[in-house]
Chain A
Amino acid sequence: DADVTQTPRNRITKTGKRIMLECSQTKGHDRMYWYRQDPGLGLRLIYYSFDVKDINKGEISDGYSVSRQAQAKFSLSLESAIPNQTALYFCATSDPGTSGANVLTFGAGSRLTVL
């Protein structure tokens, strides 16, 4: 089984619909992240969480919300999807360890298309 599992892998929806992307991890790490990837723009951070009670906005949080249901589960919601939210979404987890460097382990991605 994958260390980080994302569902759904692909989703097509219409403008205005509410969408939830789910993520679970078996690494046992406290830190979890949601990134968005667009062609030519690289990976951009949407939200991150350092533990169940800690949620932080990333650089592009507008239009998104998250929920950390447990150490292993972190979901991303689009309350009212719009076409420019069409992108590839990645969940990740990390453990900075003694170095303090956040080596990320990514899921396989969720491709979202908003019509």
Chain B
Amino acid sequence: EDQVTQSPEALRLQEGESSSLNCSYTVSGLRGLFWYRQDPGKGPEFLFTLYSAGEEKEKERLKATLTKKESFLHITAPKPEDSATYLCAVQAGGSARQLTFGSGTQLTVLP
């Protein structure tokens, strides 16, 4: 059974204080690992897909990395507008397989 665990559940940072969110996963045959951002009252918004260990992707202040057991979402010099819940999900096997989501990390960046 595919499993995804995100930590911490909640994180409060001061503006400019860099940190990382963790996504640990157990899956047989990773097809892709996904990061989403979810703002209150809205649907998750796609950020990144990582396909294999060693891969990295960046978007503005966010950088996602992947190993064989976990993924990190690094946030460099965050701003208050980065406050959101960040969701991680994995897809195993073929394109017909469904995603398994973690429960998310709620990030608050204080001005």
Q: Indicate the size class of the contact surface on chain B.
A: 20 to 34
Q: Indicate the size class of the contact surface on chain A.
A: 20 to 34
Question: Is A104 in contact with B44, judged by CB distance below 8 angstroms?
Answer: yes
Whole-angstrom CA separation of A105 from B36 in the bound complex: 10
Q: Say which residue of A44, A103, A107, A108 sits within 8 Å of B46 (CB atoms).
A: A103
Closest to B102 in A: A42
Whole-angstrom CA separation of A71 from B88 in the bound complex: 28
A107: which B residues are within 8 A, CB to CB?
43
Judged by a CB distance under 8 angstroms, whether B95 is at the interface is yes
Closest to B42 in A: A108
- Chain A 30-56 near chain B by CB (<8 Å), digits 1 or 0: 000100000011111100101000000
Judged by a CB distance under 8 angstroms, whether B22 is at the interface is no
Q: Name B38-53 residues within 8 Å CB distance of A.
A: 41-46, 49, 51
A50: which B residues are within 8 A, CB to CB?
96
Judged by a CB distance under 8 angstroms, whether A12 is at the interface is no
B101: which A residues are within 8 A, CB to CB?
42-44
A92: which B residues are within 8 A, CB to CB?
43
Q: Which 6 A-B pairs have the closest CB atoms?
A: A106-B43, A101-B32, A100-B95, A96-B95, A42-B103, A43-B101
